[in-house]
């Protein structure tokens, strides 16, 4: 802080350090996914205090590599020391190590890596003004997105909804929910399971995601209160307004209007509307 109270301008060394901090995020994303795939987070959440060697034996991994991974996770603040062993840093046992937790987000790094596969083409898109629509991605991409986002409805139900008592009351009494952009159907299913008197409908224009939602609804035995299906988008080129034929039995996501001003991408920001 300068004498006049104005923050001092960062030095060249400060900015170099800041750049490396940003690049470190890329490495942290990969480390998070590698550890999830190996089972590191779940193992340490279940057995805090495991040494690197004991963890390697449990997971069937190379001991030296396992120790380096744990030390790197420690440097990122994901692990803490417990004697000669390791434990999850506060709350990361729920976030990374317990798939049943409302706040389980261990799959989030993976979906960012999958989305990152598109980056290799971004310079070409910038120069040519071209795009790769969401719907042109393959089934594996859709599955990754659905898996990564399935915890978000639980976070809404457990953290946000208690702060909205009137909405919670409407759902308990038997409301109707429309999930615009339902993707793999996790919000539809989890709301319906939490509120047995409420019926839910999801809409999405991506057919494979609709199929994922349909299968999930059937697996959970909720076909009587959750209507799967895929409907055509009949948006107006001028206004972008949308008509959903027989939307009460659909499960689809709205695309960008064919012309006119472009709105920011909405994938991942599903809208929920509740009516009585």
The model's pTM: 0.74
Q: How many CB atoms lie within 10 A of CB 255?
A: 17
Domain co-membership, 127 together with 90: no
Buried b (16+ CB within 10 A) or exposed e, 124-152: eeeeeeeeeebeebeeebbbbbbbbbbbb
229 pLDDT band (50/70/90 cuts)?
A: low
Question: Percentage of the chain surpassing pLDDT 90?
Answer: 63
Give 76-106 pLDDT, tens digit per residue. Answer: 999 999 999 999 999 999 999 999 998 999 9
How far is residue 78's CA from residue 71's CA, in Å, rounded to a whole number? 10
Residue 122 has pLDDT above 70, yes or no: yes
- CATH code, 126: 3.40.50
267 pLDDT band (50/70/90 cuts)?
A: very low
257 pLDDT band (50/70/90 cuts)?
A: very low
Domain co-membership, 270 together with 154: yes
Read off the tokens for 76: 């990122």
From 68, 96, 124, the end of a domain falls on 96
Q: Return the pLDDT at 272.
A: 53
Q: Return the pLDDT at 246.
A: 33
Domain co-membership, 177 together with 243: yes
Q: How many domains does the chain have?
A: 2
Strands 226-227 and 199-203: parallel
Residue identified by tokens 């409302």 is 102
């Amino acid at each position: 802080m300068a004498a006049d109270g104005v923050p001092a301008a960062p030095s060249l060394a400060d900015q170099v350090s800041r750049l490396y901090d940003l690049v470190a995020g890329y490495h942290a994303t990969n480390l998070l996914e590698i550890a999830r795939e190996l089972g590191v987070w779940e193992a340490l959440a279940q057995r805090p205090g495991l040494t690197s060697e004991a963890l390697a034996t449990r997971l069937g991994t190379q001991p030296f590599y396992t120790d380096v991974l744990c030390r790197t996770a420690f440097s990122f603040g994901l692990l803490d020391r417990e004697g000669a062993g390791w434990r999850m840093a506060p709350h990361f046992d729920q976030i990374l190590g317990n798939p049943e937790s409302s706040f389980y987000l261990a799959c989030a790094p993976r979906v960012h890596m999958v989305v990152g596969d598109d980056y290799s083409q971004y310079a070409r898109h910038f120069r040519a003004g071209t795009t790769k629509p969401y719907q042109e991605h393959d089934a594996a991409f859709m599955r990754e997105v659905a898996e990564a986002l399935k915890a978000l409805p639980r976070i809404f139900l457990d953290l946000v909804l208690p702060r909205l008592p009137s909405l919670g009351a409407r759902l308990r009494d038997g409301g109707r929910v429309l999930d615009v952009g339902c993707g793999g159907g996790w919000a539809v299913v989890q709301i319906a399971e939490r509120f047995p008197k409420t019926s839910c409908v999801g809409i999405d224009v991506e057919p494979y995601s609709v199929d994922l939602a349909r299968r999930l609804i059937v697996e959970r035995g909720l076909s009587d209160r959750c209507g799967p299906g895929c409907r055509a988008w009949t948006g107006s080129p001028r206004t972008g307004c949308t008509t959903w034929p027989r939307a009460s039995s659909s499960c689809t996501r709205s695309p960008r209007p064919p012309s006119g001003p472009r709105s920011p991408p909405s994938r991942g920001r599903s809208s929920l509307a509740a009516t009585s």
